[in-house]
């Protein structure tokens, strides 16, 4: 199975900050990686797919990069609506696996 390791688990930041979340795969997953945002009590929403493609309607302050085993999600200037939990997911092979999540909280 491909293990996905996110860091940090919790991130405290302020509105306007630039933040980066990293995700490492235990083996090469090429670009088969997605990032999701989840708010309390809601279903996750896709932000980025194929490692760096921005989902339609997602603000341009979100960006993704990486390939192979190392990936990043960057929010260029945090907005109040961005405080949520973020998950990476590999879909190169079964079983599909998620990172453990990064909770982004207000400093």
Contact 99, 88 (CB under 8 A): yes
Choose which of 46, 54, 74, 84 interacts with another protein (CB under 8 A). Answer: 46
Please state the closest distance from residue 16 (CB atom) to another protein, in A: 28
Cα 90 → chain centroid: 11
Q: Is residue 57 within the footprint of another protein (CB under 8 A)? A: no
Q: Find, among 7, 32, 31, the residue nearest to 20 by Cα.
A: 7
Cα 30 → chain centroid: 16
Contact 83, 16 (CB under 8 A): no
Closer CB to another protein, residue 17 or residue 55? 55
Q: Is residue 62 within the footprint of another protein (CB under 8 A)? A: no
Residue 64 tokens read as 């993704």
Q: Which of residues 20-39 bind another protein (CB under 8 A)?
A: 32, 34, 36, 38
User: Where on the chain is the footprint of another protein (CB under 8 A)?
Assistant: 32, 34, 36, 38, 43-46, 49-50, 55, 87, 89, 91-92, 94-101
């Amino acid at each position: 199975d491909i293990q996905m390791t996110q860091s940090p688990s919790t991130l405290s930041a302020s509105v306007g900050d630039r933040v980066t979340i990293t995700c490492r795969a235990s083996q090469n997953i090429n670009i088969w990686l997605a990032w999701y945002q989840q708010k309390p009590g809601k279903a996750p929403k896709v932000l980025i797919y194929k490692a760096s493609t921005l989902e339609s309607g997602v603000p341009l302050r979100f960006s993704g990069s990486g390939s192979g085993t190392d990936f990043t999600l960057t929010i260029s200037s945090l907005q109040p609506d961005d405080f949520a939990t973020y998950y990476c997911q590999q879909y190169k092979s079964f079983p599909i696996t998620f990172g453990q999540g990064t909770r982004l909280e207000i400093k």
